[in-house]
């Protein structure tokens, strides 16, 4: 059994803005979480959040175009892990609290899109979005 | 995406064999199932035994297929792995779809409906 331990440090990973490569960011994120005391179920959910955030950058910031950089900066610190997903594409609107509001008895009211931000805000402890020098940064923090 | 299908009674049992339904595969997944629905398959049992990861794109594809049925059929699911089930609960989709522990349990229940 792998011993869970605490460490400190920052790593920067970059992929091409291609849908087929997004899973790599998720796998990397889960591996970092597995190093922390977070339970495996939470590691999986964080992987999901990273996939959602990177997919959003590829699909919306870069409009599905490949050959742009999507960057993930992971910082392990005392009692928390922070992920920053960065792109240089079209900025999102300022973040609002996402809701999943639908009538379970009326399937036409169930959303088909826009669930990513809801997932991220549900799983992560802190989420913020900034644009600095044409670089969009979605910061997601999980404490343990 | 490799997807196998099998008719059991009036049901179409569909088993995707990739491990993930995400933004890179959701369109293909949706297209294949949509064709089966268009061909008149109204009662779909989605066997997710091979799927270890679904993101919101995959979830959106499943919801879209349910809407395509427009109340004239249903999509049920079985053999959902725990991480995927966690996503269903998080997004409250577990209230939308009937979920069974096993394909045998699902087939028995759906056959009883006729």
Quote the domain boundaries for residue A25: 9-143
Q: Which residues of A touch B87 (CB under 8 A)?
A: 45, 48, 119
- Tokens found for residue B8: 């059991």
For residue A17, the domain's CATH number is 3.30.565.10
A48 touches chain B (CB under 8 A): yes
- pTM here is 0.93
Distance from CA of B27 to the nearest CA of A (A): 12
For the stretch B6-61, pLDDT in tens is 999 889 999 999 999 999 999 999 999 999 999 999 999 999 999 999 999 999 99
Compute mean pLDDT per 10 residues along chain A, 144 residues long, and list them. Answer: 71 97 97 95 97 98 97 96 98 89 86 92 98 97 97
- ipTM (interface predicted TM): 0.91
Residue A84 lies in a domain: yes
pLDDT at A118: 96
Question: Hey, how many other C-beta atoms are within 10 angstroms of the C-beta on B21?
Answer: 24
Residue reference for tokens 């059991």: B8
Long-range CB contacts (within 8 A, 24+) of A103-108: A104/B92, A104/B95, A104/B96, A107/B63, A107/B66, A107/B67, A107/B71, A107/B96, A108/B67
Residue A3 lies in a domain: no
CATH number belonging to domain B3-113 = 3.30.750.24
Q: Which residues of B touch A109 (CB under 8 A)?
A: none
Distance from CA of A27 to the nearest CA of B (A): 11
A43 touches chain B (CB under 8 A): no
Residue A2 lies in a domain: no
Long-range CB contacts (within 8 A, 24+) of A122-129: A122/B90, A123/A42, A123/A45, A123/A46, A123/A48, A123/A49, A123/B90, A124/A46, A124/A49, A125/A80, A127/A95, A128/A95, A129/A92, A129/A94, A129/A95
Task: Give DSSP secondary structure letters for A49-117.
Answer: HHHHHHHHIIIIISTT-SSSEEEEEEEEETTEEEEEEEESSPPPPPP--------TT-GGGS-SS-HHH
Task: Nearest by CB to A112, from B22, B63, B96: name it.
Answer: B63
pLDDT at A114: 86
Strand-pair category, B74-78 with B98-100 = parallel
Mutation target vs A (from B34, B57, B97; most A CBs, 10 A cutoff): B57
Distance from CA of A77 to the nearest CA of B (A): 26
Q: How many domains does chain A have?
A: 1
Cβ contact (<8 Å) for A110 and B23? no
């Amino acid at each position: 059994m792998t011993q869970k331990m605490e460490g400190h440090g920052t790593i920067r990973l970059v992929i091409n803005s291609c849908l087929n490569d997004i899973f790599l960011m998720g796998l990397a994120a889960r591996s970092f979480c597995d190093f922390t005391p977070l339970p495996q179920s939470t590691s999986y959910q964080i992987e999901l959040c990273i996939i959602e955030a990177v997919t959003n950058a590829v699909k919306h910031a870069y409009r599905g175009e490949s050959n742009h950089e999507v960057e993930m900066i992971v910082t392990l610190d005392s009692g928390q892990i922070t992920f920053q997903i960065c792109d240089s594409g079209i900025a999102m609107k300022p973040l609002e609290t996402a809701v999943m509001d639908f009538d379970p008895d009326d399937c036409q009211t169930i959303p088909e899109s826009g669930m990513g931000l809801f997932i991220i805000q549900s799983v992560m402890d802190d989420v913020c979005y900034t644009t600095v020098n044409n670089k969009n940064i979605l910061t997601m923090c999980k404490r343990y | 995406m490799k997807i196998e299908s099998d008719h059991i009674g009036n049901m179409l049992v569909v088993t995707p064999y990739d491990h993930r339904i995400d933004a890179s595969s959701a369109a293909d997944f949706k297209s294949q199932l949509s064709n089966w629905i268009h061909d008149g398959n109204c009662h779909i049992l989605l066997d997710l035994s091979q799927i270890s990861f679904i993101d919101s794109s995959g979830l959106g594809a499943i919801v879209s297929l349910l809407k395509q049925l427009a109340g004239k059929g249903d999509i049920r699911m079985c053999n959902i792995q725990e991480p995927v089930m966690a996503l269903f609960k998080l997004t409250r989709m577990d209230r939308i779809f009937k979920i069974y522990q096993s394909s045998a349990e699902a087939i028995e229940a759906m056959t009883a409906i006729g």
